[in-house]
Every structure is written in C-alpha cells, then in structure tokens.
Structure 1
C-alpha cells in the first residue's frame, strides 16, 4: 500500500535573506553560537534540539562537538535549503545523526528526544501566543532534567531608529553588503534588511526583506516558561542568554 504524502503549505520567510545570510553574518554568528552554547552542546547525551535551525550554525556545532543525535527544526524553505546543502557535504556518520524537520516544533511528534534544546536568534520573531505553543512543545521534546538555552530578544521597543551595517564580503569580482534597520511600530519592532551586490563601479542588484519582532524581557520569558515546568539554571546570567531546566512534566 502506497502512503499518500502529507503536503502542507510551506513558509516563504527569509526567501531574500537566505542568499545573503551566510556570506554576511556567518563568521560572527558562528563565534556567538560557540560562546553561548558550546559547552552544553558538547556535553549533550541523548540529543540536541535546534529550534529555528536556519542555515545550521547550532546543528553543525552539535554534529562536530558531540556524539548526540540532532533534531534541526526549520520551517522556512529557503533557510532549510541552505541547511541541507551544508549537511550534504558531511561524512555519512554525521549525516546519519541529524534529522531535519520542515514544520514548527509544535507540529512535530518529538517526545523526549533531547537533553539540550537551543533557540538561537529566533524567539523575537514569535508573537506571545506562538511562544506559548513553542514552550509546551519543547517541554515534550526534552527529557526530564533537560536544559533549554534561549538567545534573548530585545527587551523593549527601540526609542529611535537603529541602523547596523553588515561587513562587506567579496566573492570574486562582486562585493556583497547589507544593513539592518530596526524601528518601533506600535507594539512590535519593524526590522528591514537591505542587501546589495556591487562591483567597483556599479550596483548590480538590490533586495529588501522586512521582519517583525516582539520584544520580551528575561522576566517575562521566565514567567511564560514556568507553567511548562522550566526553572532558571543557577549561575547562568549571561546578558544575551536565558538558561532554564525542565524539572517536571505537567
């Protein structure tokens, strides 16, 4: 009997950004990932859960530095394409340990698959109601006593427009560049990403993509996580990171 495939609408988020993300931000992001989660990922035993895996910085670190199985959750087709292209270059031993999930975590059937979960550079992109569903899904996916590490989103709305230029990178005769512009828009943060490709004499291409972010303080996230069995880990007060552990199940 042939099984009918489960066809769902896929996210086109990051369709523009995926082309530019690694070339413009990979080096800085790789260093940040290692600094924030490197020790815990290396000590993972049952599994590592990479939520919002993007192009795979956390996933690649887990495959290189641990022997645990890895679950990479990435709903956006464009980012997942980059992730799978990267995984295709790995030795079979590493590829055999990673499973890529193309839907949000609350739509997967993951139960007690990991003792370390990471939300890197993604929580700010989720409205509060969606965060609630995510916390519940993470509590199911973690083993008892498992740890969750969340890169903190902006705590509040920006009081003025903030512009961050990305460092130019050359690829052959072309130079890739970009900037991120953040501004308050009601109760959300509007983040506009502008990218360009140029030669020494001319701009060849320009692209723009807009994202929405929801600010949240550390205290608010701790409060949201508490009903799902999470408590803060002592001694982890990094200004960029929230570290919590799963103490029980509801």
Structure 2
C-alpha cells in the first residue's frame, strides 16, 4: 500500500488544481476525479492516505461519498465545501470527515490544514504500558478482565477478534481519554485535538466526534466506557471488567 497517495474529488477545475498543487507540495502523488463514482474507484485502487471530498459532486451527494469512503478506508478525510452553515459542517463530521474547509480555499490555508491533519497521530499521548501479570505456576494468575487494545499505527481498537477502525480525530480523542483514565478531559482540551478552526463551537464539534466514537465502541461492547461530565467534558471509565490499553 502506498501511503503517500492522495485522492481529490472535485468537479471545479480551478479548485481541483489548487487542491492538487497543495497536496503535491506536501509530498503526495495525487489522483483526481470529477465524480463520486470515479473517486470511489480511485480510493479502492490506491488506498490513499488522504482524501478530499467536495460536497457538491455532480453524481453523488458528497456526504454519501464520505460515508462510502469510510467503508473503504481509514484515510484522513478532508471535506471542501461552499456550504458555510453549521449544519453542513456537523453533517460532514458525522459522515466521517476529519476536518472541513470552506470554499473559496486559499492555498496557504489548505497547506496548513493538511499539515495539521497529518500531525494528529504524533500528538497522541502514550502512557507507559502496564506490566502483564505473570501466568507462571504459583503466580496470582492472568488478568481476567476484558482488554481493549488501541493500535495507534493502524488506528484500530480490538477486543479479542472484534475490531473497529477509527478516524485520526477519534483516535486522538480516545488516546487522550485513555491517558487520563478516570479523570475528566474538558471539551476545550478535546477540541484542540480536532484542529477545527472554521467557526464551529467546541461543544458541537467535540460532541459529534465523541458520539461517533461511542457508536463505534458500542459495536465491540465498549459503548458505555466514555461518560459525560455535564458542563465540563468527558471521562474514560475503566470498570472492573474492562481495561483499555494504548499500544504503539
């Protein structure tokens, strides 16, 4: 898999050239498409590291394209849209986007946003790993709690054979919560991990990402692990029968 490929979905030639230029300067090989159908083919073929989606594609609604990309890939997903209302931005995040940039896009802003998105894994806080309990005869025996393992490289959370794939933002938030397990992470603290500087309030952006994260964790029986601390933020609760470990 070539992790330095980007796919651009944009039907406006001028915007497409801008996106391609910015991504090439960031070190990507870029494949561009003017329709959602063609873009899905490129994502399936190249398994890119980063994908940009225009919400106004001529054949398929951009939000539906985002959802389909998320089924194919755990890539960084950047939505570029002329829609400036909050509802559209929140819908993009709910559909799996890592960030939203409003058209018309400046080359400088685009370069900064791409760089910020690509830095996210490096911002993950990795606490020291707990020592595994010994299973030798005479020892206290293995830990019988269910263990959820977060693979920071593949951005997966695994419980036994079950797994879910997270976006980079979801992973950054979960990693922060794990690093502060039992303590409260404020909304502002989690907001800083989203790199969203497009006018959305921290409550809305963080709530959307936490909601998506909870929905994914629910698939592997961890939906109630993250609790809301009203008016403050969120807390990861490591109960008696489950623990969450972050692995590099």
Which structure has greater strand proportion? 1
Which structure has greater helix proportion? 2
Same fold (TM over 0.5): no
